Structure 1
Amino acid sequence: HDMGAAMLGGVGGHAGLFSNANDLGIFMQMLLKKGYYGGESYFQNYTVNQFTKCQFCKDENRRGAGFDKAVLEGQEGGPACDCSPSSKAFGHSGFTGTLVWADPDEQFVYVFLSNRIHPTSENKKLLEMDVRTKIMQVFYDAIRTVY
């Protein structure tokens, strides 16, 4: 579904990673645990911190080295809900409307897989209805109600 990749014969380095909800959940859980999962170490703590911390906040750019971050105070937009995720939260949104998000303070992982451009790239329902962030809001509300 990526026109740039299609022009390159179907595969392009910019086109991201392809996975499923279970594996993405495991990957994000591993990052929450600073590189550990299932008793094994896959990344050093330092590496995870570099990927997930806000690298350019002083320049009002909320990006980490590997992930997006929650919207900075006074900014609008971003992939996360308006639910005040912690400053340690991080994630990635994809071209087709997908989103993975992890919040270390809440011990929360959210995986939303979608195909925003089905049946055509003119389909804007996912964006117009703000589905992924509304669902994320419900999860944050539920977590905060329990505790």
Structure 2
Amino acid sequence: MEKTFDIEEGLRIEGPSFSPTRETIWAFCEASLDYNPLHWDDEYMKSDFGKTNFGGIIMHGMSNFSLITRMMTDWALPLGGTHRRLETRWRSPVKPGDTITPTGIVKKIKKTEKANWVVVSVQVKNQQDSLVAEGEAMVEFPH
């Protein structure tokens, strides 16, 4: 029996929320070997960076990437799909105590001889509904 492909453009995908803490940010420092003082040094973060002052440590931007990847995999894998590509842009910093949530909207479906390719517009917003990251993901659903 042939599997039915019933994903349509406009479908909304929601991922789990995440609230970074100083401890989870430090754990990402250790896991990624990225010990940039932006992520752990309060004294360093009192400085101005050109016209920017973050007012404290910030979460790694790659944590947004990880949260989006989890959302895409949690959605696609049970449907037989494989998350193949993700491109993101960071829009604003995330600090300990924020709560961020990823979402996606199916933007385009391309059917080829071997698979259905789904392009998803992705975003991460914080608790104030401010955009912190955005981009595009691609998922392959083999026939």
TM over 0.5: no
Give the structure with the higher percent strand: 2
Quick one: higher RCO (CA 8 Å, sep 6+), 1 or 2? 2
Bigger Rg over Cα? 2
TM-score by length of structure 2 reads 0.29
